[in-house]
Structure formats: C-alpha cells, structure tokens
Amino acid sequence: MKQQPYRLPTGGRIERNRPISFVYDGRPYDGFIGDTLASALLANGVRLVGRSFKYHRPRGVMTAGSNEPNAIVQLETGAYAEPNTRATQVELYDGLTAASQNCWPSVGFDFGAWTSHFSDLFPAGFYYKTFMWPRSAWMRYEYFIRRMAGLGSSPRVPDPDRYEKMHTHCDVLVVGSGPAGLSAALAAGRAGARVILVDEQNEVGGSLLEETIAIGNDPAMSWANKVREELIALPETRVLLRSTAYGYYDHNLVMISQRVSDHLGLSERSTDIPRQILWKVRAKEVVLATGAHERPLIFPDNDRPGVMLASAARSYVNRYAVKPGSSAIFFTNNDSAYKAALDMHAAGMRVSGIIDVRSDISGSWAQSVRDAGIPIFENQVVVATHGKSGLKGVSVMKLNPSGDGVDGVTQRVHGDVLCMSGGWSPVVHLFSQSRGKLNFDVAKNCFVPGTPVQASITVGACNGSFLLSDCLREGFLAGTEAAKNAGFEAIVPDLPDVQEPELTEERAVWETPNRLPSGRGGKRFIDFQNDVTSRDVELAAREGYLSVEHLKRYTTLGMGTDQGKLSNVNGLAVFSRCTGHDIPALGVTTFRPPYTPVTFGVIGGRDVDHLFDPVRKTPMHEWHVSSGALFEDVGQWKRPHYYPQDGEDMAAAVKRECEAVGSTVGIADASTLGKLDLRGPDVKKLLNWVYTNAWNKLETDRCRYGLMLGENGMVFDDGVTTKLSDEHYLMSTTSGGAGHVHQWLEEWLQCEWLDMKVWVTNITTQYAVAQISGPRARDLLAELTSDIDVSPQAFPFMSMRCGTVAGISARVFRISFSGELSYEINVPANKGMALWRALMSCGQKYNITPYGTESMHVLRAEKGFIIVGEETDGTVTPMDLGMDWIVSKAKKNFLGKRSLSRSDIIKSDRKQLVGLLTDNPDYVLGVGAQIVSQINESPPMPMEGHVTSSYYGPRVGRSIAMALLSGGLKRQGETVTVWDRGNIVRAKVSSPVFYDRDGDRMNA
C-alpha cells in the first residue's frame, strides 16, 4: 500500500478495509472502494487532470459530480475504452486504468498549449472570420482544426457489452435521493403508492452524503439509510441507484439510464449481467428533487488547477476523506463557503481565509468561522491567481465604494486550493425538459421552476429551497400530495427536528470587479470545458448576437459534455451586463436532453446484431438450407435466391432452374406472399374502392388480379384476390407489401369508411405456400390429390379449389407468375414442410427442380409481368404500364381515380413500360441503365427513360429487358440508345411480353 499523501486519517464514506489500485497516465496509484477516480487522484496529490478544449489550458478537478467540466478522462483501453468520462463520477474499482485526453505528448507538457499564446487571435467565432483564403484551402485548414478539436478517442473495436431495457409504470417517480427526494419517496411509499426513487449516485443521500448536521437524533446519513431501508421493505417501492433520469418527455415519460456493472472491475464483469439498463418509466406523478449546483465565480485565471467549487472541496473532505490541497482559500458571495471552510478546518487543513465580496458579514456561520480563527476578507475580491500548472496563491483587493471596481493595494494570500462559491443554481433541467417555464428569483439569484405543465412537483434545492429543514418539509408534502393525486390516501409524516443556522443574504456578483477591464489580463472563464471567457460573451454582445441562443451558438457557451451546468447562468449574467437587459428578459436557452450524456449502446439496447431486425423464415426454410440454397433478404424475409449445384454460378443455376420450369416442373416457396383475410358484408365494396378494376362479377372460387393505387394515382401494390364466399375473400399482396397494404386498408376502414363492415386479418404466416410450375405441374398435383378434379375444364386458370394435397387439407390456386401452367398450394404453416417433401419426392420422376427468387424474376420478366418496386417506383400509373385494361371505366370511383385524369397524368410523353431487345442478344443491360435521347462527348446528356428489369431469358434464348421510356407505348420498333455504366448500347423497343404472348401455356 503506497502512501496517499492527501488522504485524511479518519472519516469519509470510503471503505478503508478495501484498498485497491489503479493506473492513471501510466502510473500506479492506490485508493479505496467508495472513491471516485477524482477523489483518488486528489488523495494521491494528482491535481493536473486534463487540458481544455480550445486553449489546452492545464485543468484540475472542479466539482465532485455530474457538473464536472475539466476532469474528463479516457477510461480503459481496447474494447472497453470510453472517452470523455467524468472522473468525478467514475467509481474506483480495482485495476481501473485511465488517461488524460486532449493533450500530447502528456498532460503536463502539452504541445497543443501553443494555442494559448495566440489566444488573442482566437476570440469567440474567429473561425467564421478567417480560413477563407484561398478558396480551395478550407479543407486543409479544416484538417488541422479537426485534429485539434475533439476530446477523447473512440474505441476501435466493437463494444463487447450487452444492454437491456425495462418498461415500467409507477404512481410516483421521485428523481433525486437527497433529503427532499427521500422524504417525498417515504411519504408516497407509506401511502402505498408504487414509488420509484432514482439517484445517479451509488448511495442515497444526495447532499446528505457530505452533511454534518443531524436529522432528528441521527447523523444525516443514518437518517437517509433508515429511510432507504424502509422504502426497500415496502412491497411496491423500488430504489434505483447509479441511475440517471436524463430525459423528461411528454405524458410523464421519464427516461432513466442505470449503470449496472460500470463500477465493477473488468474481471468481475460478465455478459450475464447487462452493462447498463434503459428504464422507460411512465409515472402518474413525478417529484423532481434534483438539487442544485454551486456556481463558480468569474475572475482572472479562475481555471488554474486547484481552483474548485467550495461544495466540491467539502465533499472531498467529508465524503471521501481527501484533502483537496494543503491549505485552502475561499472566495464567495454567500454563506455556503463558510460551511466548507469549517469542515476543512475541522479536518485539520489550513484555511488561509475567506474572501467575501460582501461587507458587514454577520450571522452564525460567520461567527463560527471567526471563532475558528479563520480570517475573513470582507468586501474583497480575488484579482489574480498564481502558480503555473497548480495554484500557489491569489491576489486580493478591496472593492471600491460603489462595488464596481477595486481599490487600494493588492494583498497576497497563499494556498493551493481556492474554493469558490458564486451561489447556487437549481438543477431545473428535467423540469425545463418537461416544458415547464422557469422564473428568475431575484432574491435567490437563480432560476426556479415556474408552474409545472405535466403532473410534477418540484422540491428542495431544485426549487430554490436551500435549508435542510425546508427540503425535508417540502419533500414530505410533495410525496403526500403526489400519492393523493395518484389516488392514495396519504398523511404527511412528522418532520424530524433539524438544528441549522439561518443563511444570510447572498450578494449577486458574477464576474467579480477587477483592475483591468475584461478582455485584458488573465482569462476569466465562464465555460471551462469549451474555454468560453467573459471576453467572448462581450464580443458576442458587441457584434450583435443578441439572443441567448445566438450567444450560445456563437461562443459555444454551454455546449460541452457538461452541457453548461456550471456556465449557463454565469454566461447569462455577463451577457445581461453587456446587453443592458436584465436576466429574466434574456431568458434561458432550451435545456435539451439528456441531462448527462447517455451511452449509445443502452439506447440501442438489444436491437443490434442478429436482433437488429427480426428474421422471418418460411416453414420450409430448413429444407432450403440443407439443399444448399443461397438466400436473399426480401424485407425481413430470408428467401432462397437460387439453388446452385456442383459449383454452379448464379447464371448457370438460374438457367437450369428456368429451363426446368419451362420443360417439366419447378417448385418455389411462395409462403412470403402477403395474405389478407377479408370478411364481412362489405368486402366487395372495399375491393371496388381499393382496386382499379371491378369486383362485382367475380364468382366464388374465382381469382382476379388487381392493382392498388395511392391517392395520387400511382401504383403501390398488386396481387390476386380470391372470392371464398360472398362475405369472405383472400387478398394476396407482394411479399414486402403485406404490412403496408394492411395498414392502408385499416386506415380507410378506421378513419374514412366507418360504415363499411369489413374485418381484415393478416394471415400471411398462417399458411405455407408451395408453387409448382411447368408443363408437368398438373400431373404432379393429380398424383397427390384425390378430391380435386384437376382437369382444365374442372379447374381452369384463375380459380381456386379446396381439397387435400398429400393428405393435407389445402387451398389450391391456379394462378401463374411464371407464365407456365402453375398452382399455388396453400396449407397450414405447420404442414408446409410435409407438403414440400411430398411434392419433392413425388416430383422426382419429373425432375422437379426447386427455384429461387432470381428465377422467379426471370420467368415473370420473360412473361412481361411487372414487379411493384421494380417496374414501378411510386411515379407510375396503370396506363404507364400499358395496363389500361385493368382500370375500370364503368366504376364511379376508386382510390386514385381522380388523380388519373390530371393534365400531366394523361400526357402521351409520360414514361411508359416497354420491352427492350439489345442488338446483341447476349448483352444483358444493367438494371438502372439510362436511355438517352442524344449522345454527347461528356455529360450532360438528355435522358428519356431507364431500364427497370433486365435478364438473360433462358426460355426465349436471349437477353430481355423492361424499361420505362418516354412515350414508349407508341415507340414499338424504334431503336434507342442506352447508356449503361459508360457503355453505349443500342436496343429495339418491343412489347414487354417476350414469352407466350397469347398465354397458351399458362391457360393450358
């Protein structure tokens, strides 16, 4: 165990019997369980922990929590690397490794610090004013700017961790487990409400974790732990620690990110436990008890390592038993620094004095300080800080009589920590995200929540109530009220007795007066992480960036990883001075979620890797796999693409498959086609509305093809619908379109045609479909059925028969997408495999050949059948497809009809579907190739159409293509020029039907 020179011998909440070691910037150190990385570094005397974003200034720990702007480190390496991690929130574990970031070669000697010497050239927004010459050079300037910017480094290997999500409801969600939150949770929990209490820290207590005052007869933390135990014992109450409520959305949805295993050593973590959990909590009532953040003061070189918030110093001493330095100086405008000074004094630290901008300081805090022998420098300010990369002392001066300048001589005060307090800002982020408006409380010098707009109550320091007794009282009342609002009977618990001194008034100062006007002398930082100084804010105001949003964007104030927790109000205050508008008139910028940054991984949750999108497989999937099929993604479906045999490439396999379909029989898995079961007295009416053709005369057991149009008259789906009985139809859709068509029907049924009685059920996955296709398909079917008469007369094209096939009850549709004699056999999904096997074994004698989607597409293209999404792209009407025949002239109306008569829709030069036959019959055009009306040396070249589908057609023995061509319907026989990936190809315009024009084979 090495010495930890700044560790106090006793006290704190660290577990002294659990010493651990860690590595920072390559050096080993020791600490304890219960430390944060920041407290352990301070205990070891490491004060320089980072470099700032713009000027690469040396920086030390400034806070003890989520508001930390400076101490952000690169945690771990390799797969566990995590950039920009706040050392003040990293719980120390054994073996932790961290490194400082944004510096090179080291944090102590950082090359990038040269920028500091030229900082006069880099005021806010300087980059808008330069780097413009020469015009072509920006990308080069930018290269260096980008290298200078950024903080930590992204991991370079995939994240090995697992993340989970929880969705839950509760009656009362309490955010923050300080005194106000604990008492609210207790009051609501006792009433029987389902309570969730969340806190970002590893223990309940909030400010009580460093509190020395007693609650009732207990030390503050004993009270807190008793409350916690009582809460945990309640059946309906949950306490979530290490959990940050980061976003407050509409309808009381609060998002919480819980860090489950981040505090464990890497060797203790396992994939059995998720790293983090995202909680989506829908609460009836929300109690916001999120506390307050202390504000820094603005004075020259207020960023020197060793300058920190007084409350942080107090937290290090009381909670972590760490002296943040050897001797402390305080600089304040309010009483809270006094508390800290007393605690440090009690811990045995030297306290050189309290510099207070106020005069005539009285009250019991000041009295105690004086009693302890600590000097108070009344009516004085820090005008300079000394030391190079660590504070050595400060210069102080008296304020002049009007309080806006300094007078007299400077006096040097020595110390290596400067604890500052500029007052407190309630943590109103969540309240503001809930869309509540903020009010500026002039007496308290801070923004406080106004009237809530959602079911929420704000309590404690978050409400501007800074006394412990007030926090407890407000918490009890709010918990009771929230429980009552949620429907429970509740009584306000008895308030424990708290003895605490009254606070005296704070003096509103932000940027403290100085010898030099701001902009000269040492930099006065407002936003430490982004290096925004008061000079920058002045410049923004001077240049007329007068809205707070402009201020923020122009100077980058509050846009760092701390999201301005320390800087927003100070920035506003300086802006207010510069613009002459008071703070309330300026307003605040929007508090955007998240409160603190949230891991992408936990937001993505389990929806990654193989769970990214569900994989849909047909009942025959395993057969395809074992038969060596290669698959393709069609929507979420995995469909066999083709079945290569003995080293065949795709072209060879497809040729073989297509030829089999043309000569004997092929079999394809068509289970993915969308199937919508339509029932009710008005189905016919619905069909007449959603399809372009007429449905009145369709007989039972007959099938009809239909095109569906959007309201704009453009084709968006097609398929065959079969009448099963008067009030029962089966609609088929494209494989990708089932969900969309279902929604489309429901939208009309639910929103527009409320009187129509139709029930739509998506039964796509209830049935497996085997498609057998080819001249021997009938023979094959006949062998497997005894109760269906398959003769052409008894079972004609475009009809359906029910019966048994291979002993399985089936619906058999005689429809064809291949242009051959073809049947689609539908059986219950769980019988799909049995059917398939029966067909395969019985079909052996016909050399039955399974074929995939590629062959399916080739076969249909030979036949000139369109595929929605290939031949159409949302801009194509039925007329454009040459399918006028399917658009009823007789029907009064159908969806899209009106659009079809618009002047630009009836133009004859629209792009229309044609076939293309290349002069060279072996040349297969590329899909997407453009038809050009003129060939130029180089682009531009006018285009008049494009290829929508293109294949080698084995049954027609040459290449074929379909295309949309301007005025194409009237251009049959013309030769056109196609620009195909740079090749110029000539092709003749033909009918898009290349095979069996009269349909003899299909109708056979």
Partner 1 sequence: MATPTKYSIWSLLRNAGSYHQNWQRVWRQPTPKDEYEVIVIGGGGHGLATAYYLATVHGITNVAVLEKGWLGGGNTGRNTTVVRSNYLYDESSGIYELSMKLWEGLSQELNYNVMFSQRGVIGLSHDRHGNDEQSRRGGAIHLNGIDSEILNVAQVRALVPIINTSPNIRYPLFGGMLQRRGGNARHDAVAWGYARGADARGVDILQETEVIGLMREGSRVVGVETSRGAIRAKRVGIVVAGHSGVLANMAGFRLPLESYPLQALVSEPIKPVLHTVIMSGKVHVYLSQSDKGELVIGASRDAHNSYSQRGSFHLIEEQLAALIELFPIFGRLRMMRQWGGIVDVCPDASPIIGKTPIEGLFINCGWGTGGFKATPGSGWVFAHTLATGEPHSINAPFSLKRFSSGYLIDEHGAAGVAH
Which residues between 389 and 428 bind partner 1 (CB under 8 A)?
none
Using rule CB under 8 A, residue 875 touches partner 1? yes
Number of residues located near partner 1, criterion CB under 8 A? 112
Tell me, letter by letter, the H, E, C secondary structure of 776-844.
CHHHHHHHHCCCCCCCCCCCCCCEEEEEEECCEEEEEEECCCCCCCEEEEEEEHHHHHHHHHHHHHHHH
The pattern of x and - marking residues 113 through 142 that bind partner 1 according to CB under 8 A reads -------xx-x--xxxxxxxx-x--xx--x
Beta-carbon contacts of 290 under 8 Å, excluding residues fewer than 6 positions away, are 175, 176, 245, 426, 427, 428, 429, 430, 462
Work out how close the CB of 265 gets to partner 1 at its nearest, in angstroms, rounded to a whole number. 17
Is the bond into 640 cis (omega within 30 degrees of 0)? no
Contact set for partner 1, span 443-502 (CB under 8 A): none
d(CA 29, CA 352): 29
DSSP three-state, residue 49? coil
Using rule CB under 8 A, residue 580 touches partner 1? no
Using rule CB under 8 A, residue 63 touches partner 1? no
- Pick the binder of partner 1 from 15, 268, 543, 787 (CB under 8 A): 543
Using rule CB under 8 A, residue 904 touches partner 1? yes
Work out how close the CB of 381 gets to partner 1 at its nearest, in angstroms, rounded to a whole number. 21
Using rule CB under 8 A, residue 590 touches partner 1? yes
What is the enclosing helix (H) or strand (E) of 383? Answer: strand 380-386
Which of 513, 528, 309 lies closest to 417, judged by CA?
Answer: 309
Work out how close the CB of 54 gets to partner 1 at its nearest, in angstroms, rounded to a whole number. 10
Using rule CB under 8 A, residue 314 touches partner 1? no
DSSP three-state, residue 634? strand
- Pick the binder of partner 1 from 568, 930, 959, 990 (CB under 8 A): 930
DSSP three-state, residue 994? coil
Work out how close the CB of 765 gets to partner 1 at its nearest, in angstroms, rounded to a whole number. 19
- Find the part of the chain contacting partner 1 (CB under 8 A) among 547-555, 766-774, 826-834, 916-924: 547-555
Q: Where are the beta strands (DSSP E) in 34-103?
A: 50-51, 58-59, 72-75, 82-86, 97-100
Pick between residue 500 and residue 632 the one whose CB is nearest to partner 1: 632
Pick between residue 449 and residue 564 the one whose CB is nearest to partner 1: 564
Using rule CB under 8 A, residue 937 touches partner 1? no
d(CA 598, CA 278): 10
Pick between residue 505 and residue 607 the one whose CB is nearest to partner 1: 607
- Pick the binder of partner 1 from 405, 869, 921, 999 (CB under 8 A): 869
Which of 473, 468, 472, 474 lies closest to 449, judged by CA?
Answer: 474
Pick between residue 128 and residue 885 the one whose CB is nearest to partner 1: 128
Using rule CB under 8 A, residue 164 touches partner 1? no
Contacts 24+ apart (CB under 8 A), 690-695: 690/744, 690/745, 690/748, 690/894, 690/895, 691/721, 691/894, 692/878, 692/886, 692/887, 692/888, 692/894, 692/896, 692/897, 693/886, 693/887, 693/888, 694/888, 694/890, 694/891, 695/721
Contact set for partner 1, span 959-988 (CB under 8 A): 979-981
Contact set for partner 1, span 350-369 (CB under 8 A): none
- Pick the binder of partner 1 from 373, 647, 940, 957 (CB under 8 A): 940
d(CA 803, CA 809): 6
Using rule CB under 8 A, residue 613 touches partner 1? yes
Work out how close the CB of 167 gets to partner 1 at its nearest, in angstroms, rounded to a whole number. 11
Q: Where are the beta strands (DSSP E) in 666-763?
A: 666-669, 674-679, 703-709, 715-725, 728-733, 759-762
Using rule CB under 8 A, residue 612 touches partner 1? yes
- Say if residue 517 is exposed, middle or buried (CB neighbours under 10 Å; 0-12, 13-18, 19+): exposed
CB atoms within 10 A of CB 869: 15
Using rule CB under 8 A, residue 712 touches partner 1? yes
Which DSSP category does 903 fall into? Answer: T
Which of 33, 32, 57 lies closest to 119, judged by CA?
Answer: 57
Using rule CB under 8 A, residue 83 touches partner 1? yes
- What is each CA distance from 742 to 351, 579, 790, 813, 949, in whole angstroms? 75, 59, 33, 22, 27
Using rule CB under 8 A, residue 926 touches partner 1? yes
- Find the part of the chain contacting partner 1 (CB under 8 A) among 233-241, 320-328, 560-568, 765-773: 560-568
CA 331 to chain centroid: 41
Using rule CB under 8 A, residue 752 touches partner 1? no
Which of 819, 799, 823, 801 lies closest to 810, judged by CA?
Answer: 801
d(CA 291, CA 183): 14
Contact set for partner 1, span 508-537 (CB under 8 A): 517, 519-520, 535
Work out how close the CB of 87 gets to partner 1 at its nearest, in angstroms, rounded to a whole number. 15
Using rule CB under 8 A, residue 739 touches partner 1? no
Contact set for partner 1, span 193-232 (CB under 8 A): none
Pick between residue 898 and residue 970 the one whose CB is nearest to partner 1: 898
CB 310 within 8 A of CB 333: no
- Pick the binder of partner 1 from 166, 453, 491, 608 (CB under 8 A): 608
Using rule CB under 8 A, residue 922 touches partner 1? no
CB 866 within 8 A of CB 653: no
Pick between residue 1 and residue 751 the one whose CB is nearest to partner 1: 751
Using rule CB under 8 A, residue 576 touches partner 1? no
Contact set for partner 1, span 269-298 (CB under 8 A): 278, 280
- Pick the binder of partner 1 from 539, 654, 810, 829 (CB under 8 A): 539
DSSP characters for 569-580? HHHHHHHHHHH-
CA 44 to chain centroid: 38
d(CA 348, CA 364): 21
Using rule CB under 8 A, residue 713 touches partner 1? yes
- Pick the binder of partner 1 from 253, 264, 467, 840 (CB under 8 A): 253
- Find the part of the chain contacting partner 1 (CB under 8 A) among 236-244, 607-615, 658-666, 694-702: 607-615
Pick between residue 372 and residue 615 the one whose CB is nearest to partner 1: 615
Tell me, letter by letter, the H, E, C secondary structure of 303-328.
CCCCEEEHHHHHHHHHCCCECCCCEE
Work out how close the CB of 543 gets to partner 1 at its nearest, in angstroms, rounded to a whole number. 5
Contact set for partner 1, span 774-803 (CB under 8 A): none
- Pick the binder of partner 1 from 363, 604, 775, 828 (CB under 8 A): 604
Cα dihedral 231, 233, 237, 239 sign: positive
Work out how close the CB of 794 gets to partner 1 at its nearest, in angstroms, rounded to a whole number. 40
Using rule CB under 8 A, residue 646 touches partner 1? no
Tokens of 940: 């531009």
- Pick the binder of partner 1 from 45, 597, 921, 967 (CB under 8 A): 597
Pick between residue 232 and residue 615 the one whose CB is nearest to partner 1: 615
Using rule CB under 8 A, residue 928 touches partner 1? yes
Contact set for partner 1, span 622-641 (CB under 8 A): 632-633
Using rule CB under 8 A, residue 600 touches partner 1? yes
